[in-house]
Amino acid sequence: MLKDIRRQQIYDIIKQKKDVTIDYLVETCYSSHATIRRDLEDMENNGIIRRIHGGATLLDSKSIEPAQSLREQENADKKSIIANLAVDFLSNNQSVFLDSSTTNRYLIPLLKKYSGMTYISNSFKSAHELTEIIDADVYLSGGKVARSTNSVSGTITCEFMDRWHTDIAIMACRGASFLYGATVVSAEQSDVKRKMIKNAKSSLLLCDSSKFEKSFLCKFADFSDFSAFICDQRPPDALYDAIDRSGCEVVFP
């Protein structure tokens, strides 16, 4: 079994069972004890799980950011739908903030249709992919590196974002609820998103339906801070009404 597939399977098992033994993972994944131990060690180092005696347990999802490689694989069909809706909000010769969300990674290949663009991001992967497939000006901020998200954040990043005043900011959240608005796990990432919103003429929030009515540690915006809330299906009534009352357009297929 390929390493990435096996680790995704391990993550799914721990997510479902909350805690598991190494023996159970060996039997389920058809792998050796040494292989499973290496996988668990790497996953713990990347802030995905916590090893316990003889096994592993899931970290508190409200305080830990899963590795980007795992988040990229989650809800891929939903993120693709959202990206195809979001791309139509752009036009030629614009400047755009792109956050480090995996949903934005689905948007990047669609941006080839535009010319004269400037993109500013705090994501290594996004900046690299933009320069590989798009003829545009791309700026990558400095800051403190977060391995789990392949991005930077912190004071240096926020100061960098203050240098720009863009046409639009495009970002995702980890949770969207009618009580708490848009939330994420990390305070540092929350600060970066707020700076992007502050320094953009308009902002788009990308939110797949798995995040509806969920809230996490750090609130970074109210729905009124966005011109559009773009999702893959109609939100539940309470959430839809809260977004609609805020003056933010709700966009779904």
How far is residue 224's CA from residue 58's CA, in Å, rounded to a whole number?
Answer: 34
Catalogue all structural domains in the chain, each as residue range(s) with its CATH number.
3-59 (1.10.10.10), 70-251 (3.40.50.1360)
For residue 67, count CB atoms less than 10 angstroms from its CB and return exposed for 0-12, middle for 13-18, buried for 19 or more: buried
pLDDT higher than 80, residue 199: yes
Q: At residue 106, what is the residue type?
A: Y
pLDDT higher than 90, residue 200: yes
pLDDT higher than 90, residue 96: yes
Provide the residue count of the chain.
Answer: 253
pLDDT at 64: 47
| Helix (H), strand (E) at residue 230 | strand 228-230
pLDDT higher than 50, residue 76: yes
pTM beyond 0.85, yes or no: no
What DSSP letter does each residue of 148-209 carry, written as one string? TTTEEESHHHHHHHTT--EEEEEEE-SEEETTTEEEES-HHHHHHHHHHHHTEEEEEEE--G
pLDDT at 70: 52
Residue pLDDT, tens place only, 174-183: 999 998 999 9
pLDDT at 122: 97
Partners of 56 in beta bridges: 20, 51
Residue pLDDT, tens place only, 216-233: 878 999 999 999 999 999
Overall average pLDDT of the 128-136 stretch: 91
pLDDT at 72: 57
pLDDT higher than 70, residue 94: yes
pLDDT at 17: 80
Which region among 1-5, 187-191, 206-210 has the lowest average model confidence (pLDDT)?
1-5
Which residues are within 8 A (CB) of 217 and not within 5 positions of it... i.e. 6 or more apart?
Answer: 62, 63, 183, 184, 185, 186, 187
- 169 Cα distance to chain centroid: 14
pLDDT higher than 80, residue 190: yes
Identify the band that residue 63 occupies on the pLDDT scale cut at 50, 70 and 90: very low
pLDDT higher than 50, residue 202: yes
